[in-house]
Amino acid sequence: MGIATTAGGPPSIEARRFPVNDGALCVKGWTSADLLRSPARLTTPLVRGRTGLRPASWDAALDLIAAELTRLRAEHGPDGVAVFGGGGLTNEVCYLLGKYARVALGTSQIDYNGRFCMSSAAAAANRAYGMDRGLPFPVADLRAADTIVLAGANPAETMPPFMRHLAPCADSGGLIVIDPRATPTAERAALHLRPAPGTDLALALGILHCVVEDGHLDQDYLAERTTGFADAWRAAAAWWPERVERVTGVAVADQRAVAGRLAGARNAYILTGRGAEQHAKGTDTVSAWINLALALGLPGRAGSGHGCLTGQGNGQGGREHGQKADQLPGYRSIRDPAAREHVARVWGVDPGTLPGPGRSAYELLDALGTADGPRALLVFGSNVAVSAPRSTRVRDRLAALDLLVVADIVRSETAALADVVLPVTQWAEEGGTMTNLEGRVLLRRRAVAPPPGVRSDLAVLHGLATRLGQPAERFPTDPETVFAELREAARGGVADYHGVTYDRLRAGEQLHWPVPNTDHPGTPRPFLDRFAHPDGRARFVPVTHRPPAEPTDADYPLTATTGRVLAHYQSGAQTRNIDALVAAEPEMFVEVHPDTARRHGLDEGDPAVVVSRRGRVRATVRHTPTARVDTVFLPFHFPGDHRANLVTNPALDPVSRMPEFKVCAVRLEAAPADGPPDEGRAA
């Protein structure tokens, strides 16, 4: 995507021919310039006074934050202050944010919203391949596929230009979509499997069963390139297709058909998305799909493979450079002494001063303002009041803080709760790199000047760090300078960026990490010869199905699942400020099968309340004949008492700490006429 500016006129968007989007954009892209000049844009710091948030000078705002952070650190120790980042920030900001937390604040309490997005896929890829790169192949490779299985992904709405890569496969009848909903993506599929929400893991096991039974195992590949099949099979053997059929509702014949199509294809891919991942068993679910891919010999073979689809703009890079609770730059583990040593040397500090792993995103939010939890939180690039599960609890925790600082471009729902709001630059106003879903590093150039009064995230971190006594040169404000340091910190790590330079990117080089040195051409397909484990082999992980954390019962007989719609992005803080997008999707709705709606006396367009044990969300009924009768769908882009996350279940995955966004037990009620907002009341 590019941006054109004319003297004095408003900036406008132009589509750039680029491998991932192939020159295509959806309505979110076309309208993204609207936000650059939006009246909703924040242009001055705000500080809470007795009458609410009031404009303040940058110095006053930053001085206040620094004083409060110093006081709270003194009273409660370094872990008394916390940081929350985002997967939409540039690599440079992610990197400096992690450094700021560990060095300037000395806190272990840092995590980011990618925990709610990619963490299950990342954990599963790491344990299978020894490396987590969303797609370990260029996205354009998908065009030559005969068969593609999309497990829990709806790119036709969440990433429309990506559909162009699926089109050749879809046109020739090779697209298989696994989704409880009949999405626009599923409409393109030759075969659409509709498992009950929370049962994808069982489905993957059932298909693996068919692979074994029908003689599709790639025995040579298993012997040469993998370990652990026997144990994984033993766990899967208890999930024969007929048993899986009962649990998932997916016919044995369909399970067998998927196995047969994958096995019979010359080029086949399995791609997972949030539908598979956002569960309390998300990591195991992705492992089950990876096991299936390995059994068929797909990963690490030219023209085939497995990958996961990234959710946020910098979802990949965002999880590589140290804003995750257990990570240091270069995708290094904060527990690894050698990694600590290396990064501490780059940062010029004693490795012993680096904190250890901190709380994961939901656990961090859940602990705010509690007896042993942080008293202050700095939020960059995230709208946790809307995007975190069990919103009522999260809002209460945010309110219990002594200091909440939010750096954002608009007054998001989280910013509205803050003590200090800092107006920061957005995409076209700030240079920096992003790493896309195929592990390719992209340079984003500054195209327009930010509005007066707005500072970059890097400048904000610089201002805060120096006020805490850090040397100025330790927190540069120039993205290229930060990147030069990031290259050193990432050198030799799993995500090795050492050979990536702004000059190479400016020259148009396509660099997929790892890029160990400046002569290295990058690694578009890292697994062709070996996987990243020391023995070079991929590992099967034995996994078994278990039911959702919260089963339905007589009081909460329906399953709620959440997701995105085309017109909005994430918490909607940005897209709800763009007229064209609001016009397309103006209000919160709930998709309900007409029979289910009728049983509840609800007509199309009626106001309803979806109730769980944790809260109530108001939504307009949308009759959806293709919906499952036992499931309702809630988009998560809307604020206030329309937040889907008022009802979601914060049950966490034991490995990735991903909350169970995709399934919880609810009931449906007619909304009381013109009642007061009732978000806070638990059911």
Partner 1 sequence: MSPRAVVIVGAGMAGMRLADEIRRRDPDGERVQVTVLGAEPGPAYNRVLLPGVLAGTMSAASVTLYPQGWAEDHHIDLREGVEARAIDTAARTVGTACGAKIPFDALVLATGAEPRIPPTEGLSGEDGTPARGVVAFRTLADCLRISADARPGVPITVIGGGLLGLEAARSLAVRGCAVTVVHPVGHLMERQLDTEAGAVLAKALTRHGVRFRIGRTAARYLPGDGLKLDDGSHVPAELVVVAAGVRARTGLAEAAGLPMAGGVVVDDTLRTAHPAVYAIGDVARHPGATPGLVEPAWEQADVLAGLLTGTDPQARYRGTTVVTRLKARGVDLTAMGETTTDPDDEIDEALRLSDPARGRYAKLVLRDDRVRAAIMLGLPDAAASAAYYYTNDVPVPEDRLAVLLGRALPPAAPAQDPATLADTATVCRCNHVTKAQLTAAWRTGAADAAELSARTRAGTGCGTCVPLLRGIAGWLAGREQEAS
The site for partner 1 (CB under 8 A) is made up of 15, 23-27, 30, 155-156, 160-164, 167, 184, 188, 196, 212-215, 230-231, 233-234, 237-238, 240, 242-243, 245-246, 248-254, 552, 566-567, 580, 584, 593, 595-596, 598-599, 625, 629-630
User: In the β-sheet with 511-512, what is the strand arrangement from edge to edge?
Assistant: 432-435, 440-444, 511-512
Q: Under 8 Å CB-to-CB from 529, ≥6 apart: which residues?
A: 300, 536
Rounded Cα distance between 235 and 244, Å, is 13
Cα(154)–Cα(163) distance, integer angstroms = 9
Closest listed residue to residue 635, CA positions, set 652, 610, 604: 610
Give 678: exposed, middle or buried? Use CB within 10 Å, 0-12, 13-18, 19+: middle
Beta carbon of residue 169, minimum distance to partner 1 (angstroms, whole number): 13
**Closer to partner 1 by Cβ: residue 378 or 581:** 581
Q: Give every CB contact of residue 191 below 8 A, 6+ residues apart in sequence.
A: 175, 176, 177, 254, 257, 258, 261
C-alpha separations of 17 from 22, 139, 464 in Å: 5, 14, 39
Paired tokens of 172: 């020739």
One-letter amino acid of 339: A
CA-wise closest residue to 648 among 362, 401, 285, 378: 362
**Residue whose structure tokens are 């069982």:** 202
Q: Residue 325 and residue 235: Cα distance in Å, rounded?
A: 31
- Minimal distance, residue 313 CB to partner 1, in Å: 17
Which of these, 130, 131, 537, 656, lies nearest to 294 by C-alpha position? 537
Shortest Cβ distance from residue 672 to partner 1 (Å)?
25
Closest to partner 1 by CB, 520 vs 600, is 600
Query: Shortest Cβ distance from residue 550 to partner 1 (Å)?
Result: 15
Quick one: which of 534, 489, 139, 147 has its CA closest to 345?
489
> Of the two residues 203 and 293, which places its CB atom closer to partner 1 in the complex?
203
- Considering the complex, state which of residue 516 and residue 542 has its C-beta at the smaller distance from partner 1: 542
- Taking CA atoms, 179 is separated from 268, 273, 637, 662, in Å, by 19, 10, 20, 11
Per-position DSSP letters for 232-298, written without gaps between them: HHHHHHT--HHHHHHHH---HHHHHHHHHHHHH-SSEEEEE-HHHHSSTTHHHHHHHHHHHHHHTT-
Closest CB to partner 1 among 52 and 215?
Answer: 215
Q: Report how far residue 68's alpha carbon sits from residue 375's, in angstroms, rounded to the nearest whole number.
A: 10
168 or 492, CB closer to partner 1? 168
Nearer CB in complex with partner 1: 242/396: 242
- By beta-carbon proximity to partner 1, the closer residue of 171 and 224 is 171
Tell me how far, at minimum, the Cβ of 247 lies from partner 1, in Å: 8
Please state whether beta strands 420-423 and 432-435 pair in parallel, antiparallel, or not at all (unpaired). unpaired
Which of 325, 339, 327, 334 minimizes the C-alpha distance to 83? 325
Residue with smaller CB distance to partner 1, 435 or 596: 596
Residue with tokens 């040195």: 517
Closest approach of partner 1 to the CB of residue 547, in Å: 11
* Rg from Cα positions in the chain: 24
CB neighbours (10 Å) of residue 449?
11
Nearest to partner 1 of 59, 187 (CB atom): 187
Q: Which is nearer to partner 1, 103 or 232 (by Cβ)?
A: 232
**Residue 620 corresponds to which tokens in the numbers above?**
């307009």
Nearer to partner 1, 155 or 450 (CB): 155
Q: Cα–Cα–Cα angle for 134, 135, 136, nearest 5°? A: 110
Q: Which is nearer to partner 1, 100 or 162 (CB)?
A: 162
Contact 250, 244 (CB under 8 A): yes
